[in-house]
Amino acid sequence: MPELTYTRHEGQDAADALDVFLPAYEEIYAEPPYLEGPRDVADFIEHYAAQAKRPGMRLVLAHDGPDVVGFTYGYYLAPDTRWWANIQDVQLPPEETREDGRRTFVIIELAVRRAWRRRRVAATLHNVLLEDVHAERVTLTVRPEPEAAPARQAYEAWGYHRVGTSHPWEDAPLYDCMVRHLQQAPPAAP
């Protein structure tokens, strides 16, 4: 079996790569617990177009020859983000929800096609995505259903911990919001 290759795309290059990884997205998210159909895919395309314009946007693709077998992308949370306001079951202190446009990098998607799972593809995608990310922490969400347990276990093994339940939009399912600290904040001035 040939070795997988990983490519990183940023800014407009990431926006232009949607058609390259969309077939993998459609395949992965047709599975439980997602069960996405054509309307969901159309919504994803619309959201991705907006997300691709965010500061620090980067996309990483895993390739097996010409086929994209996995992908991940994310960006820095903006100061006016609603990310933390979507947490439903805990009240986070203001110092935990403050954003400055560089404090927190958010991973929006991290997905691998079934035949390539359990081969460290997700871990490599994750590592390549976070190379040169200069943030205090990384956040992501994962579905709570049993089908998503392998993903949650991987995130925990990579140093993430759950901070609460996120409900990102009105018709959205619930997600577990997780955080991983990358570096300590600079010490406060005396």
Domain ranges of the chain: 5-181
* Mean pLDDT within 39-56: 96
187 pLDDT tier (thresholds 50, 70, 90): very low
Taking a C-beta distance cutoff of 8 angstroms, is the pair 73, 129 a contact?
yes
Q: What is the CATH number of domain 5-181?
A: 3.40.630.30
* Mean pLDDT within 90-94: 93
Place of tokens 């997602």: 34
